[in-house]
Amino acid sequence: IFGGASQIIFLQLFSAGASSLVILSSVGAVNSRHLLYGTVLSEHLSDLNLTWKIIVSYFLVDQAFAVSNDHFKKNNNDKDKHFHLLGGGLNCWTIWQITTLIGIYLGSIIPEKLGLSFAIPLTFLALLVNDFRKLINVIVIMTSGTVATLGYQIIPFKSYVIVAALIGLFMAIILTKLVKKNYE
């Protein structure tokens, strides 16, 4: 699996003896954010043939999306801009494979008390830093974070992340329309 959060969830559920259906649906739910990534990038990659779309989609990870989405916005007329996403994704994939191998060999040496579980949230936070420059983004991030935090114990089936993402998306649509309406 090429993805940090989904790999961790897969390993935890597999180790706990969860059924294949639970494992697949959990990994699918975690990776559902890629539907949003694909939707955002579809306008930039619509000219690609199916083979290229499949290849590029495999390398569409959080970090490559964050960097390439900015590049695509600034270089909208570039015909070969998909190579930016491919290069970013290949770079992430190579580092992922190398560090996974290192982790396999050195993982048993690192004491559990070091608590390396902070690494994944820290990665997502680093991806958000650029988005804190726009007020709309800050409002959407804060709304999603608040819903996820408050919904952790309240929202059934531990679907608080999905609910928070949907509410954040809805909030982004409303705020974007309000801003456009005010500028017209």
Residue positions counted in the chain: 184
Whole-angstrom distance, CA of residue 106 vs CA of residue 108 = 6
pLDDT along the chain (184 residues), means of 10: 78 86 86 85 89 90 88 87 92 89 81 66 73 86 92 87 88 88 76
Model pLDDT, residue 134: 85
Nearest to 3 by CA among 78, 112, 93, 74: 93
Model pLDDT, residue 171: 92
Model pLDDT, residue 88: 92
Model pLDDT, residue 120: 65
pTM of the model: 0.61
Nearest to 2 by CA among 68, 82, 76, 95: 95
Q: How many CB atoms lie within 10 A of CB 68?
A: 26
Model pLDDT, residue 86: 94
116 phi-psi bin (left φ>0, alpha ψ -120 to 50, beta other): alpha
Counts for the chain of helices (H) and strands (E), in that order: 9, 0
Model pLDDT, residue 165: 86
- Please check whether residue 163 is in contact with residue 155, taking contact to mean a CB–CB distance below 8 angstroms: yes
